[in-house]
Amino acid sequence: MRVFSEGAQTLNVLFDACCAKFKTAPSLGMAMGTSWSYEELHQRVMAVASRLQQEGVKKGDRLAILAENSPSWGLAWLAIVRLGAIAVPVLPEMPEGDVQHILQEMKVKAVFTTRRQFDKLISIAENLHGPVFTFDDFREKLETLKTIPFSEYVSEALATFKGEKTDFPPVEEEDVASIIYTSGTSGYSKAVMLTHRNFTMNACSASGLAILPERSTWLSILPMSHTYEFTCGFLLPMIFGARVAYIDKLPTPAVLQKLCRYEKPTVIFAVPLILEKIYKKKVQPEMEKGLMRLACSIGMLRRMISRRIGKKILAFFGGKLVFMGVGGAKMNPDVEKFFYEANFPYLIGYGMTEAAPLIAGGPLFDPAIGVGSTGRPIPGVEVRIENASPQTGIGEIMARGENVMQGYYDDLESSREALPDGWLRTGDVGRFDEKGNLYVTGRLKNVIVMPNGENVYPEAIEHKIETFSLVAEVLVLEHEGQLEAWAFPDYEQLESEHPGMSGEEQRALVKKGLETLRREVNEQLSRTSHLVHIYEKSEPFIKTATMKIKRYLYDDMTMRREEQG
């Protein structure tokens, strides 16, 4: 699927081509609300870009977007890059200190935000030297920080623009379009510089992974500040002339069901946690009932049952779903096995911010792709395994292609470490199978070396534990040469199964359940990988935007202090 020919391309060229092709089709809107047409979106982008230019925004300037998803978010981003300026999206969940560090380090010319995020700006007001636009039209008249309602700004820009010929600076494909701060599991946040070409290459390559209908509805449930949702849930739907519907609530099962019933989306991009929750709440209880449990132990019957339940899940998502992209973290193999047997239209992708983000994935419904694989490298991306083990074929995943970042902002040393000889060092470990499918085993930094020299990948053990309904989240750690796990129970599930239970009764039930779970999991592991303890964690783990646990915040001693304190 292409809307423009190969060659030198920028995001502006891509956007112009999509708007010309799908002029009258709806583009961006809130779920259960109205949408701008592509022609109306294009007119607004040009008008806002023109006004920003008149007010002094120049090529190379940096403008931040600190806000929840909305059509205005996309409009602002497109207007920024139209001028050759650089968009700096900031995750709304970032703590105040991190937000302030980013805005001051970037020396931003303007900030686009909402009332919900505004308090994070107050203490650095004197260091913000440009306007603060509010997508929700929130007004604040502090002496040091005044707001401009964005809808008014857009209306005024349209009134003065009137489709006149623009004189914007030339924008090249190697110009930086966005600087995105990582929020990964390994700690220190880095500022990734992604070019126009990085984004357009990645979006166009991704558009060939599935045959999707044009002018359909895509439901956006992940933060646009993350490259996964931005490329796959914002740029990619433009290529198909789709309408993107944004939600203004957390995507809980109840919220999703209501919105999907109304919108009937054809495409959704999600993180594994969403499907894993649906599996635990709606699938597992049904498949473990009496005779059903026995039937599911027989391959043919299990597949028939999975397909019947799969149809109910498609109905849950509105009944029109033809594609669900799943990425941002590794999916539990048992959960994926069900969705595979259910013939559910999912595609597992693998990537990272530094690759804009997609490295491998699909194509959809390819029978050569097995459960647990992320598919093959996408067109235009090369992947190799560095220092592969002769026994397992597992080594560090390296990637190269036009989607790979220009480097880290103002950090030559880290850039050289991440891009030796032009190959991106992902920090993930994995292997290829004989069909060329990539399997991601875990993070290089997470590998636990046991006293006998065996490498243990904690993620594999965690996935086994997470299949038990008792556990919501889990982390496997090493303690004095042995393995133990910390599990946050699914208290909501416990309460529904045992209403009115006292706190003491609950603790006893959890303790007994975790010990039973430990014995069952150990039966599936090599002796050197056995867990000696599974402890209850009373609070959820801190997670990234794609719902991966921030492992660097937790080690053996930290966990003990946290639970004892």
| Per-residue model confidence as pLDDT tens digits over 403-431 | 999 999 999 999 999 999 999 999 999 99
In the predicted model, what is the mean pLDDT of residues 473-483? Answer: 91
pLDDT of residue 548: 84
- pLDDT surpasses 50 at 185: no
Task: Calculate the average pLDDT of the chain.
Answer: 91
Query: By 3-state DSSP, what share of the chain in percent is helix, strand and coil, each rounded to 5?
Result: 40, 20, 40
C-alpha–C-alpha distance, residues 415 and 406, integer Å: 9
Helix axes 333-341, 458-466, angle to 10 degrees: 60
In the predicted model, what is the mean pLDDT of residues 495-501? Answer: 87
Count of other CB atoms within 10 angstroms of residue 266: 24
Which residues lie closer than 8 Å to 420 by C-beta, 6 or more apart? none
Following CA atoms 90, 92, 97, 102 in sequence, which dihedral angle do they give, to the nearest 10 degrees?
10
In the predicted model, what is the mean pLDDT of residues 103-112? Answer: 96
pLDDT of residue 563: 60
pLDDT of residue 1: 45
In the predicted model, what is the mean pLDDT of residues 274-280? Answer: 89
The two beta strands, 217-220 and 243-246, are parallel
Pick from 173-177, 190-194, 283-287: least confident: 283-287
Question: Quick check: 80 and 87 in contact, CB under 8 A?
Answer: yes
- pLDDT surpasses 80 at 132: yes
Length of the chain in residues, anyone?
A: 565
In the predicted model, what is the mean pLDDT of residues 325-350? Answer: 93
Which residue has better confidence, 449 or 505?
505
Q: What is the band of 183 on the pLDDT scale with cuts at 50, 70, 90?
A: low
Helix axes 71-82, 150-161, angle to 10 degrees: 50
pLDDT of residue 10: 96
pLDDT of residue 64: 98
pTM of this structure: 0.88
Percent of the chain with pLDDT over 70: 95
In the predicted model, what is the mean pLDDT of residues 527-540? Answer: 92
Phi, psi (5° rounding) for residue 381? Answer: -120, 130
Which residues lie closer than 8 Å to 291 by C-beta, 6 or more apart? none
- pLDDT surpasses 70 at 93: yes
- pLDDT surpasses 70 at 559: no
Q: State both tokens at 319.
A: 């009944």
In the predicted model, what is the mean pLDDT of residues 421-442? Answer: 95
Pick from 102-116, 148-162, 273-287, 384-398: least confident: 273-287
- pLDDT surpasses 60 at 8: no
Among the ranges 47-56, 363-372, 495-504, which has the highest mean pLDDT value? 47-56
Question: Quick check: 133 and 117 in contact, CB under 8 A?
Answer: no
- pLDDT surpasses 90 at 115: yes
Answer positive or negative: Cα dihedral of 536, 542, 544, 549.
negative
Which residue has better confidence, 445 or 245?
245
Residue 99 burial (CB < 10 Å; 0-12/13-18/19+)? buried
